[in-house]
Structure 1
């Protein structure tokens, strides 16, 4: 989603080969510039945990995913304190940067919207 209205240009850009060829190198450059992969983090590790939907989604992770997430954070904070990056062969590769938390966040959001609809249902007595 983009902005408060939930608008996103991503589907439009993905539908056009020309736009994809123009935007993809810039997107890759930006991801490399951000440097989170150099610390071994995944994109979903950067989601703001203070959001209620993300907190609820974190409770749905498997024990292994929770452990891996905590390990990535500890390793990244250790590297950050020492002002070093992982060796280049240990950097997270783009194909390994899988969105593990996004499906859970989307499930939480859809459950919230469904709950809001059901909370507004008016029951009529006959």
Structure 2
């Protein structure tokens, strides 16, 4: 019984933490989860993501997830001119950082005001303090 209670508490903690992360920043959560997916599952998710519009943040993410960093980089580069909001710029920057493209990430977020509430998720990824 004691083991069961501990298991239930841990499952609730994991569930609450996951919901908090999804609510705070779905793109950062997706990057973190994608790092732990088995290759076959990552490919299936990437195939679904490639069906999203090219203007969606999920499109370059799916290219990154599929392992096509060059195509993701090209898509993100086009995104520099299409990102109309700070939040989208930060999301695209997170994808660039995950794909090990820090210069592109800098370009993507250069228009985001430094005091913006959208900065903290990107900073956590950039400085390595985000859970990976």
TM score, norm. by length of structure 1 = 0.29
Q: Whose helix proportion is higher, 1 or 2?
A: 2
Which structure is richer in relative contact order (CA contacts within 8 A, separation 6 or more)? Answer: 1
